[in-house]
């Protein structure tokens, strides 16, 4: 993204969209809208980083936007759904323009929260990560959600036993 501008902002579902999503079995989902254009040869990259007790342990999950470079009201998402049973697994999902990326993580938490990290339109800048959403969990007795400033790194991350941070790279 050398000279072109691309923005991201929270997307609020309509009543009809809420009804449709409720039939999917997905638990918590945060939606965002992309607008703008990036230079030829550039690619939007999103990642999910895994933190334990505030320390980065993995940033292996990455997804890329489509390669045509133009985004007009494009919806992306980050969500979870729990699979309870013997394994206690958490389904992680990233909705991208071309489809859905899904994987599972262990979930032994007694409490969890999905937190949106931005509340207004934000301009994405190359090589300046922007945090969009986070799922965090604890096996303790308290948990809170607070927004970060302009999609910056959340300073309260260490209160979560486990956290998955969805961000633009």
**3-class DSSP state of 22:** helix
Tokens of 72: 């007009």
Q: Rounded CA gap, 87 and 104, in Å?
A: 11
pLDDT score for 34: 93
pTM recorded for the entire structure: 0.86
Half-sphere exposure of 60 (CA within 13 A, CB side): 4
The 8-class DSSP code of residue 119 comes to: -
Distances (CA, A) of 9 to 15, 24, 122, 126, 155: 19, 24, 6, 17, 21
pLDDT score for 36: 92
pLDDT score for 33: 96
The 8-class DSSP code of residue 125 comes to: B
Ranges assigned E (strand) in the chain? 6-10, 28-37, 45-52, 55-64, 70-83, 89-96, 99-106, 111-116, 122-124, 130-138, 162-168
pLDDT per residue rounded down to tens, the chain (169 residues): 444 789 999 999 999 999 988 887 777 899 999 999 888 778 888 889 999 988 999 887 777 766 678 889 999 999 888 665 556 778 888 888 778 888 888 777 878 888 899 999 999 988 888 999 998 888 877 777 776 666 777 877 777 888 889 988 7
Query: Please, where are the H alpha helices in the chain?
Result: 15-22
pLDDT score for 54: 86
pLDDT score for 152: 78
pLDDT score for 101: 82
| Sequence-ordered list of residues with C-beta below 8 angstroms from that of 165, at least 6 positions apart, any chain | 48, 49, 51, 131, 134, 154, 157
């Amino acid at each position: 993204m050398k000279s072109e501008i691309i923005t991201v902002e929270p997307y609020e579902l309509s009543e009809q969209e809420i009804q449709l999503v409720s039939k999917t079995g997905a638990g918590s989902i945060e939606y965002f809208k992309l607008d703008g254009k990036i230079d030829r040869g550039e690619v939007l990259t999103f990642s999910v980083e895994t933190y334990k007790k505030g320390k980065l342990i993995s940033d292996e999950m990455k997804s890329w936007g489509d390669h045509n470079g133009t985004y007009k009201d494009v919806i992306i998402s980050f969500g979870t759904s729990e699979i309870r049973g013997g394994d206690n697994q958490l389904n992680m999902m990233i909705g991208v323009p071309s489809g859905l990326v899904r994987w599972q993580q262990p979930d032994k938490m007694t409490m969890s929260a999905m937190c949106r990290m931005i509340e207004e339109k934000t301009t994405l800048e190359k090589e300046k990560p922007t945090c969009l959403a986070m799922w965090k969990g604890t096996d303790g007795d308290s948990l809170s959600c607070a927004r970060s400033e302009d999609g910056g790194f959340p300073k309260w991350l260490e209160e979560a036993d486990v956290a998955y941070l969805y961000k633009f790279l």
